[in-house]
Amino acid sequence: MLIAKLTRCLLIAFAAFAVSLPSQAAMVGTAQLQSSQLTVDLGSIAAKRGWIEKQLVVGGVDAKDAASRVAAMTDVQVAQIHQRIEESPAGGVDAWVVIVLVLVITELMGYTDIIPNWPASE
């Protein structure tokens, strides 16, 4: 019975991680990296730095810490963050997947009783 629960638990864990973590890897050449860095509009970087700093302060970061964090960023990082800061969720969907996975595993192992009589007693 314990082996069956453990097998189900591992199957669910493998399925959850396989679905939630798709990725691709590829070689990046020096020319491609340099060309992507040259596409940044350098005239508006100072304005973007100020805007990101304000957003960090609104988000709860201390003003001095926000200024030092933004100052440590490269121009490419500033442009990327400015472009994606509004669409990036805090926490994201992956946090929910991990929470549900932990709850299912603890339920299957018998440590919690969130859903009574699940899995059915054999």
pLDDT along the chain (122 residues), means of 10: 77 70 69 59 76 84 88 84 69 69 82 73 56
**Predicted pLDDT at 93:** 57
**Predicted pLDDT at 115:** 75
**Predicted pLDDT at 36:** 59
Tokens of 6: 């453990």
**Predicted pLDDT at 38:** 47
CB 118 within 8 Å of CB 103: no
Running DSSP on this structure, what letter comes out for residue 73? S
**pTM listed for this prediction:** 0.41
Q: In which region does residue 24 sit, left (phi positive, over 0), alpha (psi from -120 to 50) or beta (all else)?
A: beta
Per-residue b or e along 6-19, where b marks 16 or more CB atoms closer than 10 Å to that residue's CB:
eeebeeeeeebeee
**Predicted pLDDT at 89:** 58
